[in-house]
Chain A
């Protein structure tokens, strides 16, 4: 669809109906993602209840400042994303481009902090199957915590990378070609739903990883 020929696809009566369908489709996908990450968090819950001391001890080595900076970055990126959608709805193209750039930048910053954190984890010898060293008093079950940590944060990083790719696609393809207009910006809204969902996942990973065993 291009800006000069704004017609719904053949199976839809109106653009509004087409946009609503796109949104509902993304919500169906997000429901499957809820189960995907839900199962992961359930596994964490079971392990934490099974090995409370070991998990508390192992979690003390998680780098709190990295997790805290990253939760701030992601929450802020959800704001910039929704401001981009508002700009699209109002037809403010420059603001739309600015907020999309800000969203992609914040996502890239998140990944940068994450890479730095992985480096710190490596130096701290907490990478299972690579250089894990059982610390005095931690118990071997503490390694389970770090397995969860790398699986969960790795899967989250993959999702965020896809999100950054989608934002850049919007920016460099759909917006540049004038396909996101006040009359039809459903593709951007769908990407926004995905982006905020990835943010939501981190909201739950943050206390599970960084706050366990601090007190």
Chain B
């Protein structure tokens, strides 16, 4: 990259790092609270939040070139197809999912 690009100061990344560690602690804590089916929803929600911090801040998605969003988003776009079309099989099976 060219030197004309401005980068975020180290403090911004340190705050992002602390936020991700804090979220990890919350995720571990949620596993021991007896939340039942809510627990994995919370834990994967936290993982998605941490991933968003990594993508936007650490992987500099928020900076130029804005075309990066299209390239980065395409992976998740096709992932939706993969999940959606695969689920058309499982979601229409009798007795699935198994009783938890």
A residues with a Cβ closer than 8 A to B are 14-16, 19-20, 23-24, 27-28, 30-35, 38-39, 42, 46, 49-53, 64, 68, 71-72, 75-76, 78-79, 81-83, 85-86, 89, 181-186, 189, 192-193, 196-197, 199-200, 203-204, 206-207, 211-212, 214-215
Contacts and interface: CB of A to CB of B under 8 A. Distances in A.
A24 B82 contact: no
B72 A19 contact: no
Contacts of B55: 196, 200
B44 A204 contact: yes
A24 B21 contact: no
Contacts of B75: 30-35, 38
Interface in B1-48: 1-5, 7-10, 13-14, 16-17, 20-21, 24, 27-28, 30-36, 39-40, 43-44, 46-47
Contacts of A50: 96-98
Interface residues of B, number: 58
Contact of A79 (B4, B17, B32, B72): B17
Contacts, number: 159
B3 A203 contact: no
Contact of B2 (A19, A32, A49): A19
B1 A185 contact: yes
A33 B74 CA distance: 12
B47 to A, nearest CB: 5
Contact of A215 (B10, B36, B100): B36
Given A15-B2, A82-B13, A89-B3, A203 B50 contact: yes
